[in-house]
Amino acid sequence: MTVSPGARDVGLRRLAQLSILLAVASLLATAGALILLSNAAAAGQWIVIAGGASVSASAFAFGVMISLRKTRARQTGFVVVAIAFLTAGLFALLAYVVPEAAWIFGAWTIGLLAYAALATHRLVRWPTGGVWDQPQSRLALFISYRRQDSRETVGRIHDHLRQAFEEKHLFLDADSQTAGEDYRIVIGRALERADVVLAVIGTRWLTVTDREDRRRLDDAEDMVRIELETALERNLLVIPVLIEGASMPGPAEVPPSIRPLCYRTAVPVRPDPDFKNDIERLVVTLRVSQEHQPGGAAIKV
């Protein structure tokens, strides 16, 4: 039976939540065990502290790595499982040696073994070969968009892309410009380093107007128009990204200087529940474009 990407995402998300819950529970259990063992030998207390802290720290790190789709999350998961099994063995021994605290160590042991079994099951079935399992790419991306048209969606796209591409090679105007800088100079400098330009087009991309009710795209000083003109003049790879059901503009609808954009093959990014699948396709498209460049990714410095 084939498991859908959405089902895999749900399974991994639950494992992340369970891991973070285990981290919190281990801290609480450690505190409770130390209270019960206040008169015990120092060696026993240190075993409890070491075991509880190891489980808590590793499980928390694992949960966060899954949430952030880090490439080494699966390897970390196997380490967490090993720590959980080892700690369960130590606590089972303590339950036998310290009868008055047997209930807390017994419950802790059962909890650790249950988590280790569930985590092992998920790790064995971990989706491999996906775009998020690969190392981050150094492809330099420039994201062109209109804030009035697609700001929120672009934010989501950017958040996902920085999991697959090194963030220092992603240009998003809101994050990449400093107050007081001439945006034309900033754009030109960023495009000099860019390998690919993503032209994000929403349903209002063509029709957004200025304060005088003139279409922004008809203004020669329009930032989006300057971005695309510069990218096309420099013969960069420009990929239209259609969001929220938008269609590609026709050549007659845009200024002559950016009409070549209308003939570029577009990549749709639909709203949920298709958003993640479409983002994965976009990442695959970008990585394929990287492979077709001389020397892999022609990062410009």
pLDDT value, residue 79: 94
Looking at the structure, do residues 113 and 182 belong to the same domain, yes or no? no
Instruction: Give tens-digit pLDDT for 20-78.
Output: 999 999 888 888 778 877 766 677 678 788 888 999 999 999 999 888 777 688 889 99
The residue among 124, 156, 179 that closes a domain is: 124
- What's the mean pLDDT when you consider all of the chain? 84
Q: Are residues 271 and 222 in the same domain?
A: yes
The tens digit of pLDDT for each residue in 167-183 reads: 888 888 655 566 677 87
Q: Which domain holds residue 34?
A: 5-124
Total tally of structural domains belonging to the chain: 2
Say whether both 179 and 63 belong to one domain.
no
pLDDT over 80 at 258, yes or no: yes
Are residues 39 and 80 both part of a single domain?
A: yes
Q: Is residue 276 in a domain?
A: yes
H or E element that contains 258: none
- The rounded distance, in Å, linking the Cα atoms of 13 and 186 is 38
Residue 173 pLDDT: 66
* Position with higher pLDDT, 10 vs 169: 169
What is the DSSP secondary-structure string of 167-197? GGGEEEHHHH--TT--HHHHHHHHHHH-SEE
Indicate the range of 1-10, 162-171, 176-185, 270-279 predicted with least confidence: 1-10
Structure tokens at 249: 């503009």
pLDDT in tens, 138-165: 889 999 999 999 888 999 999 888 878 8
Measure the CA–CA gap between 280 and 160, rounded to whole angstroms.
9
pLDDT at 259 over 80: yes
Identify which has the larger pLDDT, 43 or 120. Answer: 120
For residue 179, give both structure tokens: 């107050």
Averaging pLDDT over each range in 7-16, 123-132, 273-282, which range is the top one? 273-282
Partners of residue 21 on adjacent β-strands = none
Q: What is the pTM of this model?
A: 0.61
Q: Nearest 5°: CA angle at 280, between 139 and 120?
A: 110
Question: Residue 83 is encoded by which pair of tokens?
Answer: 């720590």
Residue 51 shares a structural domain with residue 117: yes
Domain membership flag for residue 65 = yes
Got the DSSP string for 53-75? HHHHHHHHHHHHHHHTT-TTHHH
Residues 156 and 116 in one domain: no
**Exposure of 74 in the CB half-sphere (CA atoms within 13 A):** 14
The sheet that has 141-144: what strands, in order across it?
170-172, 141-144, 196-201, 237-243, 267-269
Quick one: pLDDT band at residue 204, thresholds 50, 70, 90?
very high
**Domain match, 278 and 166 both:** yes
In order of 56, 75, 109, the CA distances from 36 in angstroms are 19, 35, 16
Domain boundary among 83, 99, 124: 124
Q: Is the pLDDT of residue 300 over 50?
A: no
Q: What is the mean pLDDT of residues 102-123?
A: 89
Q: Are residues 142 and 97 in the same domain?
A: no
Which pLDDT score, from 0 to 100, does residue 61 have? 93
Confidence grade of residue 81 (pLDDT, cut at 50, 70, 90): very high
CATH number of the domain to which 231 belongs: 3.40.50.10140
Same domain, 152 and 279: yes
